[in-house]
Structures are given as structure tokens and as C-alpha cells.
Structure 1
Amino acid sequence: MKQAKVDLRRTVKLILKGIPQENIKSQSDKLAKFIQTTTILKNAKTVGLYMCMPHSELQTDLLIIECIKQNKKVYLPRITPLTTFNELPRYPSQKTCLHFLRVENISTVETMAPRGRYSIREPEFEYADLMSNVPSNDLLLNRGKLDVLLVPGVAFTKTGGRLGHGVGFYDDFIKRYREVHQGEQPILVGIGLEEQLIENNMLVLEDHDEKLDYVIIGDRVYGEN
């Protein structure tokens, strides 16, 4: 099963690398405009999003900016060593996890610096004062809640299956969220490009894989009852 995921991930990534950037921008703009019309996002006051990779992925800048303009509370992820806040690993060899941090204005989004192997822009921790040990903008450390979490991936199925990058960041974060909030979790929505939508039988989920409530590609919502 693991090798099948590795092979599928490699195949889809090769396809994504071949998509012209103007095509990616067109698809990204289409989804950003459409998702604003859905009840999923309309009803959400607090939203977790993600900063995209520079290439070969749905671009999220427009979507993030629109959410801020609509006065939604927006949280973006930062890859953080477990040792920073004395967090325990969930799986062997885990050394980092995601912390979602509140971003309140557009200028912050536009000036965030790229970090890490994927060169993804990430927000900074903010502290109320020099004596504080807990960042004031950290979602889970302040027991904050999300209405919706928009999740990236390498591939998605129409039934809510998600193939990630193989690191486990989002599966781990969702489990940590449930632990903090006694089993509650936000609405989980996968968003991506047309080329990332695969047949249901191409992906077999493992026990640790978190299933999505919805998948949105272009102007189509999958997973609605």
C-alpha cells in the first residue's frame, strides 16, 4: 500500500510539473472566486488556509486576501520543531509539526519570507509581551477553533480521499486539533487543480489518513450529500 502511494505521488507530481504557470493561475483564480459563493466558506468565520509552493500547486494568495477582506479570522501554517513547545512525536522520526498562526492583514501575507525545503512563505510567532511563553497568534496553544480548514495535497478523490506529500503534517495537525477540542474538528476541505482529481479506486487510505468532508476543484464541489 505504501509503495502504491509513492508511485501515485510520483506520477501526479510529474503531471503537475508540466502545467504552464498561466494555467495554474487561471484555475486558482476560478476556484478562489467560486469557493466564496459556497455555504462552506460563506458560513465560516474562522478559516485555516495554506501558503502555496511557488510552482506546480494551486495558488492561494487571492483566496487568503479575499478571506481577510471579508473579516474572517485567517490562520496560516508554520512548520515548527517539536522541541519549541515541548510537544511529543506522534510517529517515529517525527521532529516537526504544523502550528497555525493568525494573520490579520494583507501586508503581512505579502511580506512573509519563504522558509524550508519547499520555499513556502510562513507567518511569524507573535507574543503579547516579553514575559509570555505562548504566542498570542497560535491557534491550538490558545485553544482556538477553526470553522473550516482548507487542505493542500498531491491528489484527491471525489469521495474525500487525499494523497499528501508523504510527511504527515496535516494528518498530524487534525489529530492534535481533536485532542485539544475533545474530538471536535473543523470542516475539512481539499482544494486543488483539475489534474489532481483522481479516480476513487486509485487511492487506498490507511488508518492514519484523515478523510476530507469536501473536495473543491474549479467550480465543482465533491462530497455533498
Structure 2
Amino acid sequence: MRTKLAQVPIPSIGLQSARIAATLLTMNAYKNAGSISIYLSMPSGEAVTNDIVKDALTQHKAVFVPFIDNAVSRNGGSLIKAMKMDMVSLASIDDFERTEENRDRWGIPSVAPESVQGRAKVLRVGASTAHDSSGGIAITAEFERSAEATLDVVVMPGMAFDRNCGRLGHGKGYYDTFLEDYRDSKVGASEKAHFGLALCEQVLHEDETVPTNQDDWALDALVVGDGSIIERKPNIF
């Protein structure tokens, strides 16, 4: 699948992304949402979310985007360090456009690490920055639960999707872990809608399914690059 996606022409990604955005923006779950978390796009191989992000900000929705850091969690008396994902707020379209200047190791636009402490976060508070021995910036955080934000819609990327709204991620488990932490920390968190965005090339044939286990979160709906919607339950969006 990675090889297949790497070969999707950029003009095709642009056209499919425009169709996806046009469809998502008409969905009641999106129109009624006061807050949304949405991924920022890799340089190739997945639907581009720029138009959706800008629309949400223009509509004065609270917009949250992924930020992955070296987080320190407390387990009993022990501290455990691991790469974890939280969602942090965007303030404006200008703020969103500045993410192009801070691409991460995968080439994905990201907020500047030094700006994270001043942003609203979905999961944790008290993040602090420090310079590590190599001169880089390390972000650490205790896993306190934030009262700053709740989410109405979560828009997720993936590498492949099936027609039962199964999602295959990129192997890091960031979204599954984030959603589990969010569910455990928010009253009513299970009520949010989970959407996936898929290029046509990412959707498997009718007789194929993505591999899943009990830790994987199913989507409520999948918006496809031809403008169609695949729903886990009919007519809910």
C-alpha cells in the first residue's frame, strides 16, 4: 500500500482532497460541531486537509491538531517516558499557515514546540520545555487531565481503510492511544464522531478488510476521494 500511495499523482490528490472537503463540509456532524480535531497532511499519499482546517477556523470552531512529544507519565511511583500524541489548539488561519515552517520528522506541518505551552490542549496540562544534551528542545508533561477542551468531531488519517469503516494506521498507534486516553478522561467522550478521510486508492475492495484488534477504534464514517461517504451505521450523518 505504501508503494501504491507514493505513486498517486499530486494533481489527483488535490482533486480528491477537494471532493472530500466539499462532502465533509455538508455533513451535519461537522456543521454542528463546536470543536474538531483534524490531522495536518503528509507531503504525499493522503488526503490534504487544508481546506477543511481553514473552513473550520473561518466558522469559529475550536480547531485542534496533533502534536507528538516526549511525554512523561506517572505510573504509581514510577515515571515512564514515551512518544505520545495530544491535540493542541490553532488560533487562526495565520497560525495554521505558520505550521508549514515547522514540519516534523515525517514532513508533516506542526505547531512550533516552543508555542505548545501557550495553547489549549485536549489531554494534558503543565507541559514544559527544556533543552536536551544535543541542543534540541524536549517537551515533557505529566499526564494531568485537561478541562480546556472537548471534541465533537475527530478527523483521522490512515494508510488503508475497508468498507466496514475499519482503519489501518501507520503503525505507531498514536490515534488509538489518544482516543483511549480521551475516553478515559472526559465525561461523554464517547459521543464524538470519528471520521476518516481516504483517497480512492486507500479503500480496499469489498471482500477485503484491514487487520484490527481490540485496541483499534472503528470509524463512524469514511469520506472518500470520489465524494462518497461510507457509514458504519446507515444514515447517521
**TM over 0.5, shorter chain:** yes
| 2:211 aligned to which of 187, 192, 204 | 204
Aligned residue in 2 for 1:220: 228
> Runs in 1 of length 4+ with deviation above 6 angstroms?
none
State the SS of the aligned residue for 1:201. coil
Alignment of 1:99-118 (within 5 A): 99-112=86-99, 113-118=101-106
Give the aligned partner of residue 123 of structure 1: 111
Q: Larger deviation: 181-190 or 154-163?
A: 181-190
Give the AA of the match of 2:123.
L
The aligned residue for residue 143 of structure 2 is none
Q: 1:74 aligns to what SS in structure 2? A: strand
Q: Which residue of 2 aligns with 1:184?
A: 189
The answer for unaligned runs of 5 or more in structure 2 is 125-145
In the alignment, is the contact (CA less than 8 A) between 2:34 and 2:61 conserved in 1?
A: yes
Residues 184 and 105 (structure 1), Cα distance of their counterparts in 2 relative to 1, 3 Å cut: same
In structure 1, the partner of 2:135 is: none
Taking the aligned partners of 1:55 and 1:197, their CA distance within structure 2 comes to 16
Displacement of 1:191 in angstroms is 0.7
| Percentage of identical aligned residues | 27
Measure, in 1, the Cα distance between the counterparts of 2:74 and 2:21.
Answer: 34
- Residues 4-55 of structure 1: per-residue CA shift (max 9 Å, x gap): xxxxxxxx11111111101100111111112111112111110000110011
Alignment correspondent of 1:19: 8
Counterpart secondary structure, 1:159: coil
Provide the C-alpha distance between the structure 2 equivalents of 1:76 and 1:157, rounded to a whole number of angstroms: 25
> Following the alignment from structure 2 to structure 1, what is the Cα–Cα distance between the partners of residues 151 and 108?
22
Q: CA deviation at 1:139?
A: 1.6
Distance 2:104 2:60 in 1: 30
Residue range with higher mean Cα deviation, 193-202 or 213-222: 193-202
Contact 2:36–2:151 (Cα < 8 Å) also in 1? yes
- In the TM superposition, residue 201 of structure 1 has moved relative to its aligned partner by 3.1
Aligned mate of 1:160, from 155, 165, 170: 165
With normalisation by structure 2, the TM-score equals: 0.79
Q: 1:145 and 2:150 equivalent?
A: yes
Q: Hey, what's the Cα distance between the residues in 2 that align with 1:78 and 1:17?
A: 24
Across the aligned residues of Structure 1 and Structure 2, the Cα RMSD in angstroms comes to: 2.0
Aligned ranges 1:47-58 → 2 under 5 Å: 47-58=36-47
Task: Give the SS at the match of 1:26.
Answer: helix
8 A contact 2:36–2:154 mirrored in 1: yes
CA distance in 2 between partners of 1:16 and 1:94 (Å): 33
Equivalent positions of 1:6-85 (< 5 A) are: 12-83=1-72
Does the CA contact (< 8 Å) of 2:154 and 2:193 recur in 1? yes
Q: Hey, which of these two has a bigger chunk of helix by percent?
A: 1
Q: Deviations over 1:73-108 (max 9, x none)?
A: 10001111122xx366xxxx9721111011020011
Contact 1:153–1:163 at 8 Å: present in 2 too?
A: yes
